[in-house]
């Protein structure tokens, strides 16, 4: 992904997950917004973006952060919102173990409180260690935590899986984390 496309992807993430007001767009209850309106508004912002470029950014984003509806008239972020939306995903039984990538400075807090969602709607978990490593390495040397998701599910914790494969839950108590 080129430097320009990476910059556009980060900006779209910010707008579609956290601050649609920055561009003056609205998200519906499921996080969707009009592609026509987004392109009109973003072309007033620091970016110039065509439909073809938007399609390329969506298709090549390695984390599959965005998705179009079937006719590509609407777009939304796949998960990670701090604004209140309903992704319309159903609860799902997770694999026995999931993974979370973090860094050293958060370990003490995680040992005390477990994994909490903070300002996001959910805690994000990965199905494989490689993805968790990539997530953790964004902030430094990654530490990979193993989550006993099968045990959590057996104790009535709810899990979801977003369209791009990220596992979501409300919290992960310390007793379900292998450090």
pLDDT value, residue 163: 86
Closest C-alpha to 55, from 2, 13, 5, 3: 5
What pTM value is reported for the model?
A: 0.78
Cβ count within 10 A of residue 130: 12
* Residue that wins the pLDDT comparison between 113 and 63: 113
Final residue before a domain boundary, out of 77, 111, 135: 77
Specify the number of domains making up the chain.
2
Asked if pLDDT for residue 45 goes beyond 70, the answer is no
Residues 118 and 56 in one domain: no
Comparing 8-12, 60-64, 163-167, the range with the smallest average pLDDT is: 60-64
Residues 9 and 53 in one domain: yes
Q: Measure the CA–CA gap between 123 and 152, rounded to whole angstroms.
A: 14
Query: Does 92 fall in a domain?
Result: no
Residues 168 and 104 in one domain: yes
Final residue before a domain boundary, out of 44, 77, 110: 77
**62-79 pLDDT, tens per residue?**
888 999 999 999 999 998
H or E element, residue 125? strand 123-125
Residues 64 and 113 in one domain: no
Closest C-alpha to 19, from 10, 63, 136: 10
Asked if pLDDT for residue 161 goes beyond 90, the answer is yes
Q: What does the pLDDT average to over 127-151?
A: 95
Query: Does 84 fall in a domain?
Result: no
Q: Which domain holds residue 31?
A: 3-77
pLDDT value, residue 1: 66
Inter-residue contact 101 to 134 (CB < 8 Å): yes
Tokens 């579609």 found at: 16
* Residue that wins the pLDDT comparison between 47 and 71: 71
Query: Does 90 fall in a domain?
Result: no
The CATH code of the domain that includes 160 is 3.20.170.30
């Amino acid at each position: 992904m080129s430097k320009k496309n990476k910059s556009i992807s980060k900006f779209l993430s910010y707008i579609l997950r956290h601050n649609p007001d920055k561009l003056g767009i609205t998200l519906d209850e499921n996080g969707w917004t009009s592609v026509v309106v987004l392109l009109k508004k973003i072309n007033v912002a620091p970016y110039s973006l065509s439909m073809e470029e938007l399609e390329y950014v969506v298709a090549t984003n390695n984390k599959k952060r965005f998705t179009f509806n079937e006719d590509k008239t609407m777009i939304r972020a796949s998960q990670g919102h701090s604004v209140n939306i309903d992704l319309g995903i159903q609860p799902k039984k997770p694999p026995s173990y999931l993974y979370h990538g973090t860094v050293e400075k958060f370990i003490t807090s995680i040992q005390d409180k477990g994994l909490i969602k903070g300002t996001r709607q959910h805690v994000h978990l990965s199905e494989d260690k490689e993805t968790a490593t990539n997530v953790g390495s964004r902030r430094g040397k990654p530490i990979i935590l193993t989550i006993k998701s099968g045990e959590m599910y057996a104790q009535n914790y709810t899990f979801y899986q977003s369209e791009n494969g990220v596992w979501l839950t409300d919290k992960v108590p310390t007793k379900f984390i292998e450090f």
